[in-house]
Amino acid sequence: MKQLIMIKYGELTTKKANRNVFVNLLTKNIKYMLRNFEVRIHKDRVRMYIEVLDGKFDEVVEELKKVFGLHGIVIVNQVQTNNDSIKEVVLKLVNESNYHTFKIETKRADKTFPIPSMEFNRLIGGHVLKNTNLKVDVHDPDVMIHIEIRQEGTFVYTSEIRGAGGYPVGIQGKGLLMLSGGIDSPVAGYLALKRGVDLECLYFESLPHTSIEARNKVIELAKIINRYSGNIKVHVASFTKIQEAIYKTADDTYIITIMRRMMYRIAEKLAKKRNCKIIINGESIGQVASQTLDSMAVINQVTNMPVIRPVACMDKLEIIDLSKKIDAYETSILPFEDCCTIFLPKHPVIHPTLDKCIEMESRFDYEPLIEECVDTILTISNFEEQKEYLDLL
Ligand code: ATP
Ligand code: MG
């Protein structure tokens, strides 16, 4: 008997035309995720099988749970197609836990096997009844035994472990994540990755007002979400000159609004340069003054690029739960100042108007500063083993 991991693609199977692209990308992502294990991957049109050669079965399953686009993980027992081997493994499985009822479901993909499925259910079921105290329950069994008879052998398995769902990372191309050191933006990045959007990150810093520790914290957060990608880069933009100019010229209450309009302008330029189709950020409706609907509207006005806010409709506690789940929380709450929190005005405007923004922005020549900011961006790409450097396929 040999144990294998069977992967079910789930949602992908509905996308017939793109099937090969999906499956190939998923395979590449799985290979990346399992790069530290010795595995062999076999795939066909509907399934993928992973053979674990180094015995680290449980660890491999844990890694697979992080792969987006993968809907079910099933531990299957492959045996030779003969009644005795099948009976033996079925008995082992029904005895694995304290089950009271069972059901056998046979699928005879190999029609050269002489016993029809229904009859085989009864044959194997009879063997279980004879050798255990379990009873049959066809409607709601404690354990369901699946027997798939195929040309390459018979696959016997019980339950399915739920995969991470979503789509393979990268299937939608790339988005630019505005990544700060807070709780919300890493979660926003994680959710975008889950829908198949690969990421590049943009971090604004204001040295010397913000520290190198703050930058390192953002890189740490990028590494955490990179566990789901392998491609992530961090672009560090120096925001000092723009921020100082805003402080000098804008009304106190509008400082954050104008700052965020500048950030969006820079993000759009970088996104276009880096072939990112959307901007993603961690804004959540009503969380702070700059995230009221009025604020979002005047801030968003500077760009035509779609801005996706995956956590927009989540409560802070829900975002925190997800942040903990992806192991980002402890890093996010480290106490380093962000450029949005230094010199925070006492009463930021809650209902800003576009006219006022435009008037205040006309008080300084921001275009050259934006150009300079984009041109001097520092890109950190090899902060971790990167997928593109591996020979994957
Ligand atoms: P977070 O917890 O992600 O820091 P927040 O609740 O503190 O978010 P803001 O500071 O208003 O909210 O920022 C809203 C979003 O704008 C952030 O989630 C992030 O996407 C982006 N952002 C804020 N500051 C920066 C920064 N210094 N660099 C890059 N993006 C930023
Ligand atoms: Mg923040």
211 and 333 in a common domain: yes
Three-state DSSP state, 183: coil
For residues 163 and 8, the answer to whether their CB atoms sit within 8 Å is yes
CB 4 within 8 A of CB 76: yes
Summarised one tens digit per residue, pLDDT across range 268-309 is 999 999 999 999 999 999 988 889 999 999 999 999 999 999
Ligand 1 pocket member 185 (CB < 6 A): yes
Same domain for 236 and 137, yes or no, is: no
Q: Cα dihedral sign for 30, 32, 37, 39? A: positive
Residues 196, 170 contacting (CB under 8 angstroms): yes
Shared domain for 115 and 251, answered yes or no, is no
Q: Would you say residue 167 lies in a domain?
A: no
Last residue of a domain, one of 116, 142, 162: 162
For residues 240 and 259, is the Cβ–Cβ distance under 8 A? no
Same domain for 210 and 140: no
Cα(40) to ligand 1 centroid in Å equals: 42
Is the CB of 167 inside a 6 Å radius of any atom of ligand 1?
no
140/204 same-domain check: no
Other CB atoms within 10 Å distance of the CB of residue 375: 8
Count structural domains, the chain. Answer: 2
Q: Say if residues 241 and 373 touch (Cβ distance below 8 Å).
A: yes
Nearest ligand for residue 289 CA: 1
Q: Is 24 found in the same domain as 57?
A: yes
Distance 207 CA to ligand 1 centre (A): 17
Identify whether 122 is part of a domain: yes
Residue 138 Cα to ligand 2 middle (Å): 54
The answer to whether 232 and 201 have CB atoms below 8 angstroms apart is: yes
Return the pLDDT at 17. Answer: 64
Among candidate residues 236, 242, 182, 233, the one with its CA nearest the CA of residue 204: 236
3-class SS shares of the chain: helix, strand, coil, % to 5: 40, 20, 40
117 and 204, same structural domain? no
Specify if 75 maps to a domain.
Answer: yes
What does the block give as tokens for 354? 């576009």
Domain boundary among 162, 194, 211: 162
Q: Does a structural domain hold residue 260?
A: yes
Give pLDDT < 50 ranges for the chain.
Answer: 388-393
The C-alpha atoms of residue 214 and residue 182 are separated, in whole angstroms, by 10
205 and 324, same domain (yes or no) = yes
Q: What is the 173 CA–ligand 2 centroid distance (Å)?
A: 26
Residues 148, 221, single domain; the answer is no
Instruction: Identify the domain containing residue 111 by its residue range.
Output: 2-162
What is the DSSP track for 239-272? -HHHHHHHHHHS-GGGHHHHHHHHHHHHHHHHHH
Indicate whether residue 184 lines ligand 1 (CB < 6 A).
yes
Residue with the smallest CA separation from ligand 1 atom 6 is 184
Q: Calculate the alpha carbon distances from 18 to 21, 171, 334 in Å.
A: 5, 10, 43
For the record, the structure tokens of 311 come out as: 């956590």
169 belongs to a structural domain: no
pLDDT of res. 289: 84
The CATH number for 341's domain is: 3.40.50.620
Does 343 reside within a domain?
yes
**Closest atom of ligand 1 relative to the 177 alpha carbon:** 20
* 269 and 140 within one domain: no
pLDDT in tens, 353-382: 999 999 999 999 999 999 999 999 999 986
Tell whether ligand 1 has an atom less than 6 A from the beta carbon of residue 283: yes
In the prediction, which pLDDT does 46 show?
74
pLDDT for the residue 12: 59
Domain contains 292 = yes
Sheet with 174-178, side-by-side order of all strands: 307-308, 276-280, 174-178, 198-205, 234-238, 378-380
pLDDT at 384: 58
In a shared domain, residues 21 and 113: yes
* Final residue in a domain of this structure, among 108, 138, 162: 162
Give the pLDDT score at 175: 98
The tokens describing 282, both together, are 């961690």
Which pLDDT value is given to residue 30? 95
Query: Do 121 and 184 reside in the same domain of the chain?
Result: no
The CATH number covering residue 69 comes to: 3.30.2130.30
